[in-house]
Amino acid sequence: MLDTKFFLSLKNKNYIKSLDLIKKAYDFSKSKHAGQYRDDGKDYFTHPIEVAEILSNMGLDSPSIITALLHDVVEDSAVTIQDIKKLFGVEISKLVDGVTKLTKIELKFGLAQAENFRKLLISSSDDIRVLLVKLADRLHNIRTIEGIKDKRRQIKICTETLEIYVPLAERLGIIGIQSELEEKCFSVINNETRNSIQKRLDSIYSEDKINIPLIIKEIKKIAFDKKIFVEISGRKKTCYSIWKKMQTKKVGMDNLSDIMAFRIIVKKKEDCYKLLSLLHQNYTAIMGRFKDYISAPKRNGYQSLHTGLIGPKKTKIEIQIRTYEMDEFAENGVAAHWMYKNGTKFKEGIKFKWVRELLQIIEESNHPNEFLEHTKLEMYNDQVFCFTPKGNIINLPVHATAIDFAYAVHSELGNAAVGAKINNKVRLLTSELKNGDQVKILTSSNGYPDPNWLDNCITGKAKSSIRRFIRNKEVEEYKQLGTSLLRNEYKQKNKKLNFKELKKIIEKYELLDVDELLIEIGKGNIFSSEVIKSIYPENKYFNVFRKKPFIKKIFNNKKNDLNINGAIPGMAIHYAHCCSPLPGDRIVGIVTSGKGITVHSLDCFSLEKFHDTPERWLDISWEREKDILYRGKLIAVLMNEPGSLADVTRIISSINGNISNLQVVNRDINFYKFTIDLEVENLSHLNEIIAALRLSDFVESVEREKS
């Protein structure tokens, strides 16, 4: 039997033309959900009806209503999207598919939450109706949350709703859904606090019960005298909004000045400003409380004038002034301007610019947590309105800097920025912007983002663009470094670098291409010597810089073949990695349980922790043996110029040193800082290399790294 109440409400809302198709969806959904029940024991089909009712109250089109009726059918029965397509057409099948995909996403906390948030926005960006159906679905689930007996599950769902769905409802301007979700979730998560705030509100409102009609009457008289037609209603603040302000401002309820709020509806936009002027003439305005969201709407399209007054009866009140159209949008957001029912497509103009911006962040974010961080910043901050030199308005979050401004205009402008003119004065790019600032970004063809900018910008677009540039630059630098190291290794083997040869060993390292191999070499994850050995295994022990071929005996930590005088026979001997002692260093042995003897330089900082155990110290010294190479480490600062690294590797090779690893530890526009691991004969050999490097025009400084 048809739900007469449901269909009667649809007739009253002008869905008559689509009523047959809606009835078809109604019957189909009811049959597929037959025998299914919700957590509270009620027939499951009550849920899709309620979701459809919510959307019809918002004035959405008939495809949205049909999607609401069918939104759980694919998930909860054997029905497929193809079945929906055959029965109800392509448009509705796409909408149902979008909602089904969102439903399948199991929202969790941590990394999973970030990844799911990404999927949620990607899925909803193609057709905003998908997201509206999902919001209505979540709203009904929250309305019936008491049906879930597990309190922990209730709290999880409500926390998830505040994190994910409330901000999206806010950005879509659907304040009605936003407020209801907030209040209900707040009562589940922190009912004690909510009840405490509610009692205080009830007390305040009971005290002002007599004043409210008097205040409304007095304001109406002021408007009537100037022939401005108004509708006025006293608006109660929600407990959640009060709690949020208390948290943000870190004050108690008694210090909040806008517990009393009045909404004034006028016929025309010019009446908003006329009435505002009259109220400011008759009452004392509270400084800093005026906001003009009509000339500069919020990013979700919200428009209204806000002001704080010491009103009638010396009461602190908040006033909101708007037209009927603005008020409708304030309640229902994007649904207030819906045009599908008129047979034309919904205009996704400036109101949905944020969707495109978020999609750009998705593309540029390297990690799900980055994305969540960026999008939360975009969604929760209030805004400042700044101007380009041509007078275009750029909306930014409060505390945004000129860096944020540059990237808001265009990513390429941000990447080339070197300074800013704010109100015709040259300022730092890190300067914080204020409402009304005119900003001109100064650029240079040689400009590029500074990694420190990440600490001085707050918008997701700026942060993601900077990180993307840095990542791309690092990859290119690692590739150049890897090429240089490999070319030098080939040169040592008296061969010329051949990129075609490198393709033969790509599969061995499980890489995609030669570029990725060069990048891994540059990062130090693959040694260039290993690559040469893979290509020319027959020459892997050959060193062309020695006067005659020889076999290198590399020090092995696990064998007792070191020539150390004074060591205990039979005990394993190890070099200490903290100081990397070399023949020529004064050394001492430390007996370590389970490891044998560890050899330290006598000036090693690590020896302090053995100060109270002198019985573990051994007096040892070096005994020279030919053809043993030892490991040493250098810290070198090189000029950022072409040929600098090549000159360093040439000098080291010419003095018979062998680079086993090289890694960039820091870089800026002028210098690179490297750690260089070497195989040398002794301390004198290492000092000879250091002295030769210091003579290079490319080397700013070079030191031995010991601790």
Q: Which CATH number is 195-337's, of 3.40.50.720, 3.10.50.40, 3.30.70.100, 3.30.460.10?
A: 3.30.460.10
Is residue 260 within 8 Å of residue 316, measured between CB atoms?
Answer: yes
Confidence of residue 306 (pLDDT cuts 50, 70, 90): very high
Of 75, 476, 625, 703, catalytic: 75
Q: Kindly state the average pLDDT of the residues 303-307.
A: 92
pLDDT value of position 139: 94
Domain 4-189, classified CATH 1.10.3210.10, yes or no:
yes
Question: Which residues partner with 664 through β-bridges?
Answer: 674
pLDDT at 457: 92
The better pLDDT of the pair 317, 548 is held by: 317
Integer Cα distance of 153 and 413 in angstroms: 47
Q: Across residues 101-112, what is the average pLDDT? A: 57
- pLDDT at residue 690 in the model: 87
- Computed over every residue of the chain, the mean pLDDT equals 78
What's the CA gap between 319 and 289, in Å, rounded? 10
Please, how many CA atoms are within 13 Å of residue 582, restricted to the half-sphere of its CB?
A: 20
For residue 269, which phi and psi values (nearest 5 degrees)? -60, -40
- 130 has pLDDT over 80: yes
| Range from 560-574, 589-603, 620-634 carrying the lowest mean pLDDT | 560-574
Which residue spans within 201-251 are E strands per DSSP?
230-236
Q: List 589's β-bridge partners, or say none.
A: 599, 618
CA angle (594 as vertex; 622, 677 as ends), nearest 5: 50
Can you give the pLDDT at residue 344? 39
Contact status, residue 493 vs residue 533, Cβ threshold 8 Å: no
Would the CA dihedral through 180, 181, 184, 186 be positive or negative?
Answer: negative
Q: Ranked by mean pLDDT, which of 108-112, 131-135, 326-330 comes out on top?
A: 131-135
Q: CA 235, CA 254: separation in Å to the nearest integer?
A: 18
Q: What is the pLDDT of residues 386-399, one digit of tens each?
A: 888 877 778 888 88
Q: What is the largest CA-CA distance in the chain?
A: 109
Q: What is the DSSP letter of 164?
A: I
State the pLDDT at residue 495. Answer: 76
Tell me if 65 sits within 8 A of 19, measured CB to CB: no
**DSSP assignment of 454-466:** GGS---HHHHHHH
The more confident residue out of 274 and 104 is: 274
Give the pLDDT confidence score for residue 490 in this predicted structure.
78
Predicted pLDDT at 550:
34
Q: State yes or no: pLDDT of 152 exceeds 80.
A: yes
Cα torsion for 511, 513, 515, 520, to the nearest 10°? 10
565 falls in which pLDDT band (50, 70, 90)? low
The least confident of 41-55, 118-132, 212-226, 573-587 is: 118-132
C-alpha dihedral sign at 54, 56, 60, 66: positive
Is the model more confident about 324 or about 513?
Answer: 324
pTM of this structure: 0.56
**702 pLDDT exceeds 80?**
yes
Check pLDDT > 50 for residue 662. yes
Residues 155-182: b if buried by 16+ CB within 10 A, e if exposed: ebbbebbebbbbbbbbbbbbbbbbbbbb
Check if the beta carbon of residue 387 is closer than 8 Å to that of residue 436.
yes
Q: What is the pLDDT of residue 605?
A: 79
Identify the pLDDT of residue 341. Answer: 41
Q: What is the pLDDT of residues 248-283, one digit of tens each?
A: 766 666 555 556 788 999 999 999 999 999 999 998
**CA dist list (Å): 286 to 275, 306, 321, 543:** 16, 11, 16, 82
pLDDT mean over 452-468: 88
CA gap 527, 520 in Å, rounded: 9
pLDDT bin (cut points 50, 70, 90) of residue 119 is: low
Sign of the Cα pseudo-torsion (128, 129, 135, 141, in order): negative
Identify which has the larger pLDDT, 644 or 14.
Answer: 644
Q: Is the pLDDT of residue 557 over 50?
A: no
Residues with Cβ within 8 Å of 646's Cβ and at least 6 positions away in sequence, in order, are 484, 488
Contact of 323 with 272, CB cutoff 8 Å: yes
Read off the pLDDT band of 401 (50, 70, 90): very high
pLDDT of the residue at 441: 93
The whole-angstrom separation of Cα 463 and Cα 376 is 13
d(CA 389, CA 411): 18
Average pLDDT over residues 149-167: 86
Judged by average pLDDT, the poorest of 78-87, 100-109, 662-671 is 100-109
**Distance, CA of 440 to CA of 458 (rounded, Å):** 19
Question: What confidence score (pLDDT) does residue 320 get?
Answer: 93
Concatenated DSSP letters of 65-134? HHHHHHTTHHHHSS--HHHHHHHH-HHHHHHHHHHHHHHH----STHHHHHHHHHHHHHHHS-HHHHHHH
With CA atoms as reference, report the closest residue to 408 among 381, 428, 376, 386. 386
Structure-model confidence comparison of residues 456 and 471, the more confident one: 456
Given 39, 43, 76, 474, the catalytic residue: 76
Residues making up the chain, counted from first to last: 707
* Res. 207 pLDDT band, cuts 50 70 90: low
pLDDT at 114: 58
Residue, of 238 and 228, whose pLDDT is higher: 228
Q: What does the pLDDT look like over 488-539, one tens digit per residue?
A: 777 777 777 777 778 777 777 777 788 888 888 877 777 777 787 777 776 5
pLDDT at position 521? 80
541-707: CATH number: 3.30.70.260
pLDDT band at 305 (very low <50, low <70, confident <90, very high): very high
Output the CA–CA distances (angstroms, integers) from residue 145 to 42, 101, 137, 425, in the order listed.
Answer: 13, 22, 12, 56
Identify whether 75 is a catalytic site residue. Answer: yes
Give which of 512, 483, 413 is closest to 402, Cα–Cα: 413
Question: What is the structure's pLDDT at 656?
Answer: 83
Q: What gap in Å lies between CA 409 and CA 676, rounded to an integer?
A: 43
Instruction: Determine the Cα–Cα distance for residues 301 and 173; give it in Å rounded to an integer.
Output: 7
pLDDT at 105 over 80: no
Taking residue 494's Cβ as centre, other Cβ atoms within 10 Å add up to 10
